[in-house]
Chain A
Amino acid sequence: MTQKQADLLVSALKKRFGGKTEFEPVNTKGRYRFAITSRRFDAMSQLRRQDEVWKVVDRVLPREAMLDISTILAYAPADLATVK
């Protein structure tokens, strides 16, 4: 995945879920890890969050770029508030 594609995905995730999206490279071969924190995940199960997030990926990225996503972590703010 190119940096431009990663930026494009961040924009699309931001538009769909609001909140905050961050990403970082996992290696030097264009593989990235994303993390979203959004209130829209408050009442969603973890799997449902994943389904919703990956729908956005399918919509904005070609399949080859999708394979370069290592993971997309989807947090509700309350999830992070409980980390001590």
Chain B
Amino acid sequence: MASSIFDKQVSLRPSTMKTVAEQRFADAEMLRCSKVNARANGAAYLVGFVVEILLKAKLVEKYSAIAKLPQHAVKDDHREIWSLIWRRHDLEGMLSQLAELEAYLEAKGQRDGYDYVGQLKKICATWTIQARYSSRNIPMSEAADLVERVRKLKEQLK
């Protein structure tokens, strides 16, 4: 039987997640290039999703044993991590579990003269999965700003 995008994911591989993040970024870029305001929400939603996938990939790399567990086998101490990987879309929560990523971004930012940590925290505070339910519309200029920030950031999150 041909596989479907709707097949339930039973394992997550960081390398695959990074590829998927690039694909969703390309989707967002396509919407941004349309320059149609009505497509701006879609671009903004997708580009935040790119950050979510890349942060989850980092969690899966760091906590690979926990990520492989079925829900019923997860110990209480590991429930937060497992939930961030498999259930939640909480960018702030994910970043809080990745102190070494923050340290890397800070050092890299000092070398490059670009505040990767600050930009990531701004995006984590801005984007929410709830955006998919919003009936408000943002202008494409705002979505484009978000796309450009994620373009720089994603290279450091791979």
How distant is the Cα of A5 from the Cα of B103 in the complex, in angstroms?
A: 20
Interface range for A: 10 to 19
- Shortest Cβ distance from B138 into A: residue: A45
Number of A-B pairs, beta carbon distance below 8 Å: 42
* B35: Cβ under 8 A from any A Cβ: no
B: number of interface residues (CB 8 Å): 17
Binds B, one of A6-14, A15-23, A46-54: A46-54
How distant is the Cα of A73 from the Cα of B142 in the complex, in angstroms?
A: 18
**Among B95, B117, B125, B146, which residue has its beta carbon within 8 angstroms of that of A72?**
B125
With a cutoff of 8 Å between Cβ atoms, the chain A residues found around residue B27 in the complex are: none
* B126: Cβ under 8 A from any A Cβ: yes
- B81-111: CB near A (< 8 Å → 1, else 0) gives 0000000000010011000001000100000
Interface on chain B toward A: helix, strand, loop, or mixed SS? helix
- Shortest Cβ distance from A29 into B: residue: B99
Residue of A47, A71, A74 most packed against chain B (CB within 10 A): A47
Q: How far is the CB of B71 from chain A (nearest CB, A)?
A: 25
**Among A47, A66, A71, A74, which residue has its beta carbon within 8 angstroms of that of B92?**
A71
How distant is the Cα of A73 from the Cα of B91 in the complex, in angstroms?
A: 13
With a cutoff of 8 Å between Cβ atoms, the chain B residues found around residue A50 in the complex are: 121-122, 125-126
Q: Is the CB of A31 within 8 A of B96?
A: yes
With a cutoff of 8 Å between Cβ atoms, the chain B residues found around residue A69 in the complex are: 121
How distant is the Cα of A6 from the Cα of B142 in the complex, in angstroms?
A: 30
Q: Which residues of A contact B (CB under 8 A)?
A: 26-27, 31, 33, 45-47, 50-51, 54, 63, 66-67, 69-74
Q: List 14 A-B contacts (CB under 8 A).
A: A33-B92, A45-B142, A45-B145, A50-B121, A51-B122, A54-B121, A54-B122, A66-B118, A67-B106, A70-B96, A71-B92, A71-B121, A72-B121, A74-B125
